[in-house]
């Protein structure tokens, strides 16, 4: 992770604050030197780092700042990823990546929104944050290049698996429209569509058979790609150091290579959590209380966390009940949520949150979850 200085800025320190509103073609750059100074806005071509240097160098004398003054910038996390963050740090600019969902917005039904207004508001919020107002927004933790690249493996596998399921369901729907019995995917023989019969025991039309053939070819390609990724993930696990987080996780019953890869790629270790609340915030399985005036109610969980982590942790939680029946977490779940189908579904969310915290402690500190069983060699 790229190190960043999060120290507050003294009111007597001269600083140039820069905010970027990123667009596909153009970037709006808003600059100011502190509270009470009207921001200066410039428009540059998107991705033009030389233009970024020019506008920053032009802003220093405009605000009466020295050439060596400290420069702090920010932009909202989005489609451009983190390359801009790394490029700015290389230029000597202390950049921060902001979570867009955490920004304050005008609550009017129709509010004016332009890139210039957004850039101006963002740079003013940057001044507030640097002055000590840490609650103004939430910042994104930037991964290293290696960690960011590694995420593509597990995310590609998830996308391929979803595409595989979609195609299989679609094939079943096409067959159902002709009254065909849908053969299970594992029992389908080569060119099985030529032997399929409709409701009247007649062969399927040639156009339908051709479409099924093309879909089956796509399924074969997807299955081959999934197998290739699985082999790569298995190789990484086998070559991992016995004391590494990956090797530790797969030693737990109920945690396989695929789920361990998702947990690590999504930041179980590289995000460097400081406490369990930060982990719960990333997962998003936190209660959303509404208590205003005489109204008080529970709005459920926020669901504002990492969707991939949410999916894999719910799966791991159900598997944990099966593979770790004697663990403290399983006993806690059974004592509180063992009655009623709805109660069990609600409880599995709480178990997923507790399990992620336990897996984090095990992966980073080697603390085995209470009562958990490790796989035998």
d(CA 274, CA 269): 11
Whether the per-residue pLDDT at 231 is higher than 80: the answer is yes
pLDDT in the model for residue 265: 93
Residue 5 has pLDDT above 50, yes or no: no
Q: State residue 118's pLDDT score.
A: 92
Question: In degrees to the nearest 10, what's the CA dihedral of 281, 282, 288, 292?
Answer: 50
Q: How confident is the model at residue 342 (pLDDT cuts 50, 70, 90)?
A: confident
pLDDT at 296 over 90: no
- The sign one gets for the Cα dihedral 54, 56, 58, 60 is negative
* pLDDT tens profile 33-63: 989 899 999 999 999 999 999 999 999 999 9
Q: What residues pair up with 29 in beta bridges, in sequence order? A: 20, 42
Percentage of residues in the chain having pLDDT higher than 70: 95
The answer on pLDDT for 11 being more than 70 is: no
Q: Classify each residue of 122-143 as buried b or exposed e, where b means 16 or more C-beta atoms within 10 Å of its C-beta.
A: bbbbbbebbeeeeebbebebbb
| Domain extents in the chain | 15-136, 147-239, 247-365
Specify which residues 296 forms β-bridges with: 291
- 3-class SS of residue 359: helix
Tell me the CATH architecture of domain 15-136: 2-Layer Sandwich (3.30)
pLDDT at residue 302 is higher than 60: yes
User: What's the average model confidence in pLDDT over 321-341?
Assistant: 92
Residue 72, pLDDT > 80, answer yes
CB under 8 A, 24+ apart: contacts of 29-35? 29/55, 29/119, 30/116, 30/119, 30/120, 30/122, 30/123, 31/55, 31/56, 31/59, 31/63, 31/123, 32/63, 32/123, 32/124, 32/127, 33/63, 33/64, 33/65, 34/127, 35/127, 35/131
pLDDT of residue 122: 95
Q: pLDDT tens across 84-134, in order?
A: 999 999 999 999 999 998 888 888 877 888 999 999 999 999 999 999 888
Q: Is the pLDDT of residue 2 over 50?
A: no
Tens of pLDDT, residues 265-277: 999 999 989 888 8
The whole-model pTM stands at 0.84
Rounded to an integer, the average pLDDT of 276-282 is 85
The pLDDT of residue 298 is above 90? no
Mean pLDDT of 280-297: 82
| Average pLDDT score over the chain | 90
Over residues 186-202, mean pLDDT = 85
**pLDDT value at residue 57:** 95
Residue, of 16 and 302, whose pLDDT is higher: 16
Q: How many helical (H) and strand (E) elements, i.e. helices and strands, does the chain have?
A: 11, 7
CA distance 16 to 18: 7
Quick one: pLDDT at residue 182?
67
């Amino acid at each position: 992770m790229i190190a960043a200085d999060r120290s507050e800025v003294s009111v007597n320190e001269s600083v140039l604050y820069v905010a970027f509103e990123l667009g596909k073609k153009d970037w709006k750059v808003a600059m100011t030197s502190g509270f009470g100074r009207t921001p200066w806005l410039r428009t540059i071509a998107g991705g033009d780092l030389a233009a970024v240097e020019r506008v920053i160098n032009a802003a220093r004398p405009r605000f009466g700042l020295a050439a060596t003054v400290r420069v702090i910038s920010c932009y909202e996390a989005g489609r451009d990823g983190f390359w801009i963050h790394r490029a700015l740090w290389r230029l000597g600019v202390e950049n921060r990546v902001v979570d867009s969902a955490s920004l304050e917005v005008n609550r009017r039904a129709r509010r004016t929104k332009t890139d210039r207004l957004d850039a101006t508001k963002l740079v003013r919020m940057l001044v507030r944050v640097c002055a000590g107002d840490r609650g103004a927004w939430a910042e994104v933790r930037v991964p290293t290049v290696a960690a960011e690249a590694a995420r593509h493996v597990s995310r590609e596998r998830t996308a391929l698996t979803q595409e595989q399921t979609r195609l299989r369901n679609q094939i079943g729907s096409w067959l159902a429209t002709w009254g065909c019995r849908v053969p299970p995917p594992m029992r389908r023989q080569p060119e099985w569509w030529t032997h399929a019969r409709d409701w009247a025991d007649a062969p399927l039309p040639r156009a339908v058979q051709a479409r099924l053939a093309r879909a089956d070819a796509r399924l074969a390609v997807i299955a081959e790609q999934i197998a290739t990724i699985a082999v790569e993930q298995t190789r990484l696990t086998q070559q991992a150091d016995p004391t590494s987080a990956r090797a530790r996780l797969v030693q737990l019953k109920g945690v396989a290579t695929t789920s361990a890869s998702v947990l690590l790629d999504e930041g179980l270790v590289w995000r460097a959590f400081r406490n369990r609340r930060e982990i719960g915030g990333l997962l998003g399985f936190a209660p959303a209380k509404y208590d205003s005036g005489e109204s008080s109610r529970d709005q459920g969980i926020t669901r504002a966390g990492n969707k991939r982590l949410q999916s894999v942790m719910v799966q791991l939680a159900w598997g944990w009940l099966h593979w770790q029946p004697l663990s403290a977490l399983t006993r806690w779940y059974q004592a509180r949520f063992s009655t009623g189908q709805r109660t069990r579904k609600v409880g599995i969310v709480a178990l997923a949150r507790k399990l992620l915290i336990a897996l984090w402690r095990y992966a980073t500190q080697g603390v085995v979850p209470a009562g958990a069983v490790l796989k035998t060699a």
